[in-house]
Structure 1
């Protein structure tokens, strides 16, 4: 089994629940679902802005683990209202349209906090030509 490198925990919940927001195993980086919470704890009511924040976090984690957004090969997007699909897809295009990874967008019943409208996870393969 290859060595795993994890980003440092960002909240006590990660330790309590036993999960990692992002890790690298070999040349593969896997980023857990991210929600659009800003650094100050606020959440925009706009799903597109939440998605932009999700992609900014994904970029940060991928880069911390030695990758680039160009290495992203798969994205999964979850929205609580399918009416937000176009706004979230636009954020996907801004962040990764030039890379053209696989992508899935599905509507779900709810996320953990009612203000969260979107959650996004990603996978990257570093050094894959």
Structure 2
């Protein structure tokens, strides 16, 4: 995938990559298409999942192929609304899931970061 931000090029990482039938999606933050960031952790999580599913589709998979999701929140009080976004976005696939609270993300507005893995053909 082409870089979506200058940081990707500077740090030399890929947002999402396909290796054989496996798709690995780097951590995503909930930046909207216009560059804004919602104050709501639930919306940030929804946006993360929108991006993740889009990357998986671009690389030949579908949301049903999700097998693992890792969610990071800066406030454990947001765990339920982030879990709700997880369930809405990929509960049909029933991937493994981890949610942990961390002290901070790369910017003060970021409340959630989510990474995922899919295996094409898993089609849960």
TM-score (norm 1): 0.93
Deviation at 1:14, TM superposition (A): 0.9
Counterpart position of 1:120: 114
Deviation at 1:15, TM superposition (A): 1.3
Task: From 58, 62, 79, give the equivalent of 1:64.
Answer: 58
Counterpart position of 2:98: 104
Q: Which runs of no fewer than 5 residues in structure 1 stay unpaired?
A: 1-6
Deviation at 1:108, TM superposition (A): 0.1
Q: Is the CA contact 2:64–2:122 (under 8 Å) kept in the aligned structure 1? A: no
Counterpart position of 1:25: 19
Confirm or deny that 1:86 pairs with 2:80: yes
TM-score (norm 2): 0.97
Size of the aligned set, in residue pairs, is 123
Q: Is the CA contact 2:73–2:113 (under 8 Å) kept in the aligned structure 1? A: yes
Q: Is the CA contact 2:42–2:78 (under 8 Å) kept in the aligned structure 1? A: yes
Deviation at 1:48, TM superposition (A): 0.4
Deviation at 1:55, TM superposition (A): 0.2
Moved runs in structure 1, 4+ residues, more than 3 A? none
Cα deviation per residue 1:50-100 (whole Å; 9 max; x = unaligned)? 000000000110000000000000000000000000000000000011111
Counterpart position of 1:4: none
